[in-house]
Structure 1
């Protein structure tokens, strides 16, 4: 795991800083103040922000930008965008709604290693019990062949769209009656994520420089007999829970377009 450090920077080093919509940026911060965790850290600042007239001055007075740098000469970091997938679905399994969106299985065991070893904070071990031993849980390719002990939120009509829902971690499903079901990340089967885009590039299906959600999806639709082969390359599988609002982050606040940022807590 590469180590990182934060290096103090300046607002003038931020690309397009002067063209920022500071009112929206401050609004995003105020929205995050609705959570107890943010209130605890920024109690006084949250109070000041509500009545602030000069958003740019407020942000530059109370915040400082930092550059994230790796201590070792590791591979470059990955920066990706997020979108909220919209799927079609049914509460009942029937054609064409054949692909289940699972809740966390009853037999999935999650061990917070940080509760035992403080130096392993934010690391979790997942598996299932066989006797008194914790063994790996079912990989993606095993799930269809096993009797998964999990409730189903609903069924969707596209295995491909369901896969990308897992990649994003949350989304919405429009049912046949027009009702919208919001779903979000709840747990994971314990396997490390593997990029199917890199896999497709490695077998010569798509040039690496052309790999994207769109090109992957198009290739899978053009090669239906190889969908399982490609999707199962990623052994990781996400389990969901039903939510009462649109996509939200770890603080429980609805994400703000072009403002909210997700980070890996193992690094930052």
Structure 2
């Protein structure tokens, strides 16, 4: 068990762009055990703002897996689709602070350049029917990740002003995740290393809104036989809720944790929490071995 007993609020925040797979389970198990090992609470949030990418039936599969693995969140599960008005309020706050602007640039106009040059920053375009970008500044943003060590980025040099709301009206992940983490009092974010490069822009947005900064732990990614991360895009196999106990054993093994006895998932999670040790999680961005 880890030795820090400060107040802890953790979360698991899957997106229903596909069914829950083994890589997602690793995140769910790690976030749950880390929270409970710190005598903390653990919440579940469904991140479903990207409506065109929602895969039919995936939300139901996620919720069925939460039940089958007997995770028992400490509060009612929330859905981001129910919070769109709140995100709009936050956007208007940022607009009043002159921290955002409307952008008419399309992907075709931007081409392959991934660093936005601020083309629309001084144009004063109307906010309706345009993308909304957050201004960044020329400064280094750093944080220390519990597994990946110190991470730094100068957003102006590495990314440029970034989108909070798309021109089609869909709220961007960066906005929704920061706003909801703050609203739910999240103190510790445990998620996959594929989201590591999002963190500095989320820290910057949180600073603009005077939010407390969470602690971060980015987990190494499980890979498939082709050396690709397990993901919905790579057609990772959906978890079978009927084999929840076996999947839990595999996930704990992938996380380098001591073995637990095959039992009801609830009891297995209790045992896993009692012997949870962050220091045993494999180092780096990938988990050795092949997982389905």
**Shared fold by TM > 0.5?**
no
| More relative contact order, 1 or 2 (CA 8 Å, 6+ apart) | 2
TM bin, normalised by shorter chain, reads under 0.3
The two structures have a TM-score, normalised by structure 2, of: 0.20
The two structures have a TM-score, normalised by structure 1, of: 0.21
Q: Which of the two has greater helix per residue?
A: 2
